Structure 1
Amino acid sequence: MLSFGSTSSSTPSAVNFDHFQILRAIGKGSFGKVCIVQKRDTEKMYAMKYMNKQQCIERDEVRNVFRELEILQEIEHVFLVNLWYSFQDEEDMFMVVDLLLGGDLRYHLQQNVQFTEETVKLYICEMALALDYLRSQHIIHRDVKPDNILLDEQGHAHLTDFNIATIIRDGERATALAGTKPYMAPEIFHSFLSGGTGYSFEVDWWSLGIMAYELLRGWRPYDIHSNNPVESLVQLFSTVSVQYSSAWSKEMVALLRKLLTVNPEHRFSCLAHIQASAQLSAVVWSDVCEKRVEPAFVPNKGRLHCDPTFELEEMILESRPLHKKKKRLAKNKSRDNSKDSSQSENDYLQECLEAIQQDFVIFNREK
């Protein structure tokens, strides 16, 4: 019997697809699509990510989805994109999360937004609070980058996408080569090559430094691409030194240097380091926590900060459009009932689908 994780039984009052009105498609990730939805009873708006079960099985990504759900169900923070509900039907797994309409930082970089030091400093503070919280929950995110930082309409930063996050308990170290290469800390490559002692929470703070540099300058401090071999990257970190812009304040350069320290033992890698730094001595942290510090960059109100082609794709190209789901599932049911189940074309696929159905954890944060 296949199993993907902890078992949960659905209760009659569990939230499901019918409790939401689909408003529009806004994007797609590596193996899921995202749309804006409104919960019918409360009229609250959310983002809903949905992942096709069969595709997840074919790409061997079911465990990743379960892992992400397991993590998201246990955490909640003002600077994270929080999970509110998870549920499933025959075709898809659904995650309903905070709706953030300010777009991600990659989108704004592509729109050539000139981020000021003041703006980037606030992002560093907000992300420092998020990362410190994750550390308290034993979580390494492993994919901090502009694509995974979403802004709300006021311009505050929120970390999303726990697809490759990992949980490490007391004194454990992570060893997997996981992340997006240009943002991955040197010790991840080092550990992979030499089988050393592994790595820990410090890797997320390196990624934060790379991202902060990129926001300020428009390009990253190291010329690293996904196809660079690991050996060459280990060499790179020991030979190339980061060039800081002369236009930046001494304080900002000092802060970036501390985040981009190759040796993790000497790197800024917790909230206490950040709070004690001369560069951020004027920050009123209670105000940051309460979102009382006004961001200098506020996304344009009334503009949806995403690629408009997603909506078209969902309507025209999508073979299983969401708005026709009810009709389709009813049709499938009658087809299934008329088919001799012993003539199943793909037993393994069927077994996997049944395992997902059984192991998927239904979640409702309101309860």
Structure 2
Amino acid sequence: MESPAASPPASLPQTKGKSKRKRDLRISCVSKPPVSNPTPPRNLDSRTFITIGDRNFEVEADDLVTISELGRGAYGVVEKVRHAQSGTIMAVKRIRATVNSQEQKRLLMDLDINMRTVDCFYTVTFYGALFREGDVWICMELMDTSLDKFYRKVLEKNMKIPEDILGEIAVSIVRALEHLHSKLSVIHRDVKPSNVLINKEGHVKMCDFGISGYLVDSVAKTMDAGCKPYMAPERINPELNQKGYNVKSDVWSLGITMVLSGLDSALAGLLGWGMSV
């Protein structure tokens, strides 16, 4: 997805490819997000209509050709796919059918938040969703890498991510969290480097809303699973705060994410952190 013009961003050399010409990864902070597509329909079928830019497509599962696997987890797989008729490239999250109530809750939350954030530039754009043999396929904007993978590439070059680039990344995450909180009364609850995605244009976007939670009077009380190294103390040990927790716990997770992503190779090695972000 293209963004409007912004002030010249900071850049960081990328790993050399086959071409001898060096390429830069630019991290941009966009002050005025472009107009998003209207909210997609909530009824799921074996086909869906998606809008990418000014182009509209009717998509069935058989129309989507897998190019490569992007990631795999306990709840499903994310693949890079091509829409055969149009040649459009996108990411598809395939979530396995389950009778487990917690996994169903996670699926419904992820789908609901994706549908409701189409007007936020700082979350990955939702294109549409469909059913295939009981599984749910969520079609999304394709990004190029995640912050944890980008960080590992930087460490391999014995470099560190410059502070100005970390600042741009942090601003984009804050804007995504602010949108979730102020517009949807939602807390993300799983802020970590693997849920921060980056593309070659330097846009930074949040993803994975499966364990997000709704706020009541700005407070959440349910203790869904998350990644403990990034959790705020009141989420790890709820006895510390009987009244629940709020969006500040996401800010804590953001702080841990940024501090660890700013480590150089020596500190990362000392902490044994470089390959486990």
Corresponding letter in the other structure for 2:107: V
Over 3 Å counting, the alpha-carbon distance change for 1:154 and 1:9 in structure 2 is closer
Name the TM-score, length of structure 1 as normaliser: 0.53
Structure having the higher strand fraction is 2
1:47 deviates by 0.3
Corresponding letter in the other structure for 1:211: T
1:133, 1:59 → 2: CA distance? Answer: 28
Q: Which residue of 2 aligns with 1:170?
A: 217
Q: Structure 1: any 5+ residue segments left out of the alignment?
A: 1-6, 226-367
1:9 deviates by 6.3
1:122, 1:83 → 2: CA distance? Answer: 23
Q: Secondary structure at the match of 2:200?
A: coil
2:163 paired residue among 101, 113, 117:
117
Partner deviation per Cα, 1:143-186 (whole Å, 9 max, x = no partner): 11111111111232211111111111334433415321111112
User: 1:286-305 residue pairs with structure 2 within 5 A?
Assistant: none
Q: Which residue of 1 aligns with 2:92?
A: 48
Q: Which residue of 1 aligns with 2:201?
A: 154
Corresponding letter in the other structure for 2:62: D
Over the aligned positions, Cα root-mean-square deviation in angstroms equals 2.7
Q: Does 1:198 align with 2:244?
A: yes
2:79 paired residue among 35, 39, 60:
35
State the structure with more CA Rg. 1
Q: Secondary structure at the match of 1:217?
A: coil
Contact 2:211 2:226 survives alignment (8 Å): yes
Over 3 Å counting, the alpha-carbon distance change for 1:119 and 1:73 in structure 2 is same
Structure having the higher helix fraction is 1
Q: Which residue of 1 aligns with 2:133?
A: 90
Over 3 Å counting, the alpha-carbon distance change for 1:95 and 1:107 in structure 2 is same
Corresponding letter in the other structure for 1:148: N
Contact 2:47 2:130 survives alignment (8 Å): no
1:40 deviates by 3.6
Q: Which residue of 2 aligns with 1:279?
A: none
Contact 1:141 1:164 survives alignment (8 Å): yes
1:204, 1:189 → 2: CA distance? Answer: 13
Q: Which residue of 2 aligns with 1:243?
A: none
Q: Does 1:217 align with 2:260?
A: no
Corresponding letter in the other structure for 1:125: V
Q: Which residue of 1 aligns with 2:35?
A: none
2:218, 2:100 → 1: CA distance? Answer: 35
1:188 paired residue among 235, 253, 265:
235
Name the TM-score, length of structure 2 as normaliser: 0.68
Determine what percentage of the aligned residue pairs are the same residue. Answer: 26
Q: Secondary structure at the match of 2:229?
A: helix
Q: Structure 2: any 5+ residue segments left out of the alignment?
A: 1-41, 50-58
Q: Secondary structure at the match of 1:199?
A: coil
Q: Which residue of 2 aligns with 1:106?
A: 148
1:131 paired residue among 177, 180, 188:
177
1:126 deviates by 1.0
